């Protein structure tokens, strides 16, 4: 099996690829921006950290943008953090157009509702699963995952929501549609539960 981890210069690529190598020792994990490699892979992971405008710019500059869009339509696809946010129509951060593959936006935590909570949201928080999904296999609802973010996805279609989390507001922290699964938290930094999620992704047959 070939797994492409898209390295457009904005992410914690090494953690992601190392974690994938651990859960899928037999797989070939390629850290790449080469569209040909992405197209030839069986599964695609798009990480991302930092700011959405930078990520969008870098993704375009890397030449991988079209291959990433194709992957979201064709094969098991995992978006992580900004790699998830970019799937939506528009991000509030720098009022950035996203890839527009999913209806909805990416708002910032509303200052008025944070009641003294710091933004960014940093640390471990409980992830409440909305319903069963292959990627939640063996992971109890309420398990803690690691977050670092100031913006969160707000899908227009509630059917996309795979999990929610509370931080001042209840927000969507995982989405699923067909062959796409994407998370706001960082499975590669979430220890056993995170590795389980990555392992589930590697075995997922949507």
Handedness of CA 188, 194, 198, 204 (dihedral sign): negative
**Least distance between other proteins and beta carbon 123 (Å):** 4
**85/157 Cα distance (integer angstroms):** 15
Contact 109, 169 (CB under 8 A): yes
Cβ proximity to other proteins: between 26 and 36 the closer is 26
- Does position 148 interact with other proteins (CB under 8 A)? The reply is yes
Q: Which range of residues in 67-75, 95-103, 127-135, 184-192 is near other proteins by CB under 8 A?
A: 184-192
Q: Which range of residues in 61-69, 143-151, 156-164, 176-184 is near other proteins by CB under 8 A?
A: 143-151
Which among 193, 186, 177, 80 has a CA at the least distance from the CA of 142? 193
**129/38 Cα distance (integer angstroms):** 30
Query: How far lies 180's CA from each of 26, 94, 108, 121, in Å?
Result: 23, 25, 23, 24
Site for other proteins in 99-128 (CB under 8 A): 116-118, 120, 122-126
- Does position 61 interact with other proteins (CB under 8 A)? The reply is no
Residue numbers of the site for other proteins (CB under 8 A)? 11-15, 22, 49, 116-118, 120, 122-126, 144, 148, 150, 189, 191-192
* Enzyme catalytic residues: 81, 186, 188
């Amino acid at each position: 099996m070939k797994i492409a981890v898209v390295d457009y210069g904005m992410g914690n690529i090494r953690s992601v690829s190392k974690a994938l190598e651990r859960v899928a020792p037999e797989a070939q994990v390629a850290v790449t921006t080469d569209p040909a490699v992405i197209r030839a892979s069986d599964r695609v992971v798009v990480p991302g950290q930092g700011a959405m405008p930078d990520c969008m710019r870098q993704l375009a500059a890397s030449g991988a943008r079209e291959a990433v869009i194709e992957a979201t339509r064709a094969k098991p696809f995992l978006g992580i953090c900004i790699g998830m946010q970019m799937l939506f129509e528009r991000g509030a951060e720098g009022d950035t157009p996203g890839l527009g593959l999913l209806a909805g936006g990416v708002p910032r935590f509303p200052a008025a509702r944070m009641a003294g909570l710091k933004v960014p949201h940093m640390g471990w928080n409980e992830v409440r699963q909305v319903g069963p999904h292959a990627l939640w296999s063996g992971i109890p609802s309420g398990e803690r995952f690691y977050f670092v973010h100031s913006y969160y996805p707000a899908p227009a279609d509630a059917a996309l929501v795979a999990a929610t989390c509370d931080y001042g507001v209840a927000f969507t922290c995982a989405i699923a549609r067909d062959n796409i699964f994407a998370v706001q938290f960082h499975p590669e930094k979430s220890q056993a539960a995170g590795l389980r999620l990555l392992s589930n992704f590697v075995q997922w047959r949507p």
